[in-house]
């Protein structure tokens, strides 16, 4: 693990050292597990007090907190953002050596940049293009005519169906399938007849896709994932869906076919989105919502069927009162039924 000084850490995150700038730091750990030589971090006063009482040698902290125990601090505007920048300094991602493993199967017409790493038992199809610095860790299947831009990293057992196109620095985690047939059928003479899915999937730069995600290719045209979007594990994205830039799609979301999602949209866990909808920019959809209608720009929706959050919250509050209201109605009916007057 690299050894960094407090001043080197501060330089990386645009912070200010209070204490010893030459202090050597050998690791990064949470406060309750830190040891001498470690850097820890704190987002607020409560976490800072805990970090100050820990064995850590220095604290990465948001704001002008001063250590009562004399620890060196690196003061930053946002500790969580700084944490994301500093952590790779202490835990750099392994970079496999360039080359093609002897067990890999590579088509003669495939073009692989000399700096790429093709791991054990990978398969690369005809006319596939693998860019500079691409890492295929192992058992990845890259079908015919696929394109992987520079710096992509595929974890084990990722499958790309034909003509899938990845931009630069796309990361796909284990078990994901990109470009399988969309779920398209028509009912014809008493049976479900398959509609051929002849489109593709296009994934733009800096997208990260979690484990066991499925993104179906379009019937015609393309299913598209926009630049900088992050997709969690176990997500299903159907054919001809378009997701814009810098969206967050949390685990177990399902998006039905031909829905268009704008930029900077957040879709929380277990949300279901019906097909052929338009979700505008900067929308937030709460967990376990069922979206059946288009959502205008900037709105927050929740519930099933989903609606604007302020409307749905009023409905939930009303539902919480239903047992008491039912009891009062039953009491009123009983009083009216036996001829007595209700209590005023």
Per-residue model confidence as pLDDT tens digits over 179-228: 999 999 999 999 999 999 999 999 999 999 999 999 999 999 999 999 99
Tell which residue, 98, 91, 86, 122, has the closest CA to residue 5. Answer: 86
Residue 338 has pLDDT above 80, yes or no: no
The secondary structure of residue 326, as a DSSP letter, is: H
Catalytic hit among 155, 239, 276, 293: 239
Q: Give the per-residue pLDDT at 341.
A: 56
Q: Give the per-residue pLDDT at 155.
A: 98
Tell which residue, 196, 197, 199, has the closest CA to residue 165. Answer: 199
Residues 6+ away with beta carbon under 8 Å from 280: 262, 294, 295, 296, 297, 298, 299
Q: Give the per-residue pLDDT at 2.
A: 86
Full-model pTM: 0.91
Residue 333 has pLDDT above 70, yes or no: yes
Going through 128-199 in order, the beta strands assigned E by DSSP cover 129-130, 135-136, 141-142, 147-148, 153-154, 159-160, 165-166, 171-172, 177-180, 185-188, 191-194
At residue 278, φ and ψ (nearest 5 deg) are -120, 115
Q: What is the mean pLDDT of the chain?
A: 95
Residue 344 has pLDDT above 60, yes or no: no
Residues 6+ away with beta carbon under 8 Å from 58: 6, 9, 19, 23, 25, 38, 39, 40, 71, 72, 73, 74
Average pLDDT, integer, range 105-125: 98
How far is Cα of residue 125 from the mean position of the Cα atoms in its chain? 29
Cβ atoms of residues 124 and 106 within 8 Å: yes
How many angstroms separate the Cα of 222 from the Cα of each of 96, 154, 176?
32, 21, 18
Peptide bond into 78 cis (omega under 30): no
Residue 342 has pLDDT above 70, yes or no: no
85 as an active site residue: the answer is: no
Q: Give the per-residue pLDDT at 340.
A: 59
| Structural element, H or E, at residue 276 | none
- Partners of 38 in the β-ladder: 27
Q: Over the stretch 31-47, which tens digit does the pLDDT of each residue have?
A: 999 999 999 999 999 99
pLDDT bin (cut points 50, 70, 90) of residue 83 is very high
Q: Give the per-residue pLDDT at 267.
A: 98
Cβ atoms of residues 66 and 47 within 8 Å: no
Tell which residue, 303, 297, 295, 270, has the closest CA to residue 281. Answer: 297
Q: Over the stretch 291-330, which tens digit does the pLDDT of each residue have?
A: 999 999 999 999 999 999 999 999 989 989 999 989 999 9
Bridge-based pairing of strands 185-188 and 191-194 is antiparallel
Q: Over the stretch 237-259, which tens digit does the pLDDT of each residue have?
A: 999 999 999 999 999 999 999 99
Q: Give the per-residue pLDDT at 339.
A: 62
Helix and strand element counts for the chain (H, E): 4, 40
Q: Give the per-residue pLDDT at 260.
A: 98
How many angstroms separate the Cα of 107 from the Cα of each of 98, 101, 115, 160?
18, 14, 18, 15
Q: Over the stretch 259-302, which tens digit does the pLDDT of each residue have?
A: 999 999 999 999 999 999 999 999 999 999 999 999 999 999 99
Average pLDDT, integer, range 17-23: 96
pLDDT bin (cut points 50, 70, 90) of residue 343 is low
Q: Give the per-residue pLDDT at 335.
A: 87
Q: Over the stretch 165-181, which tens digit does the pLDDT of each residue have?
A: 999 999 999 999 999 99
């Amino acid at each position: 693990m690299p050894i960094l000084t407090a001043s080197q850490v501060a330089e990386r995150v645009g912070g200010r050292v209070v204490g010893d700038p030459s202090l050597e730091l050998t690791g990064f750990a949470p406060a309750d597990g830190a040891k001498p030589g470690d850097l820890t971090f704190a987002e607020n006063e409560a976490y800072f007090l805990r970090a100050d009482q820990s064995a850590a040698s220095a604290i990465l902290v948001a704001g002008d907190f001063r250590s009562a125990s004399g620890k060196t601090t690196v003061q930053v505007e946002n500790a969580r953002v700084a944490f994301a920048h500093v952590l790779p300094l202490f835990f750099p991602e392994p970079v496999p050596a360039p080359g093609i493993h002897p067990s890999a199967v590579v088509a003669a017409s495939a073009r692989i940049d000399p700096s790429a790493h093709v791991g054990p038992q990978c398969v690369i199809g005809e006319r596939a293009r693998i860019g500079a610095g691409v890492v295929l860790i192992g058992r990845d299947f890259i079908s015919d005519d696929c394109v992987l831009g520079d710096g992509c990293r595929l974890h084990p057992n990722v499958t790309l169906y034909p003509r899938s196109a990845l931009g630069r620095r796309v990361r796909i985690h284990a078990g994901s399938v990109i470009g399988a047939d969309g779920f398209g059928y028509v009912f014809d003479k008493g049976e479900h007849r398959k509609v051929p899915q002849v489109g593709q999937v296009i994934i733009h730069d800096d997208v990260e896709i979690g484990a066991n995600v499925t993104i179906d290719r379009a019937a015609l045209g393309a299913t598209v994932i926009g630049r900088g979007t992050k997709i969690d594990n176990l997500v299903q994205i159907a054919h001809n869906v378009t997701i814009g830039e810098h969206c967050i799609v949390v685990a177990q979301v399902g998006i039905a076919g031909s829905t268009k999602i704008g930029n900077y949209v957040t879709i929380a866990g277990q949300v279901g989105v019906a097909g052929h909808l338009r979700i505008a920019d900067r929308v937030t959809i709460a967990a376990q919502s069922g979206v059946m209608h288009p959502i205008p720009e900037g709105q927050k929706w929740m519930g099933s069927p989903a609606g604007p959050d302020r409307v749905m919250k009023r409905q939930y509050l009303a539902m919480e009162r239903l047992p008491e209201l039912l009891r009062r109605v039953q009491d009123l009916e009983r009083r009216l039924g036996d001829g007595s007057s209700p209590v005023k």
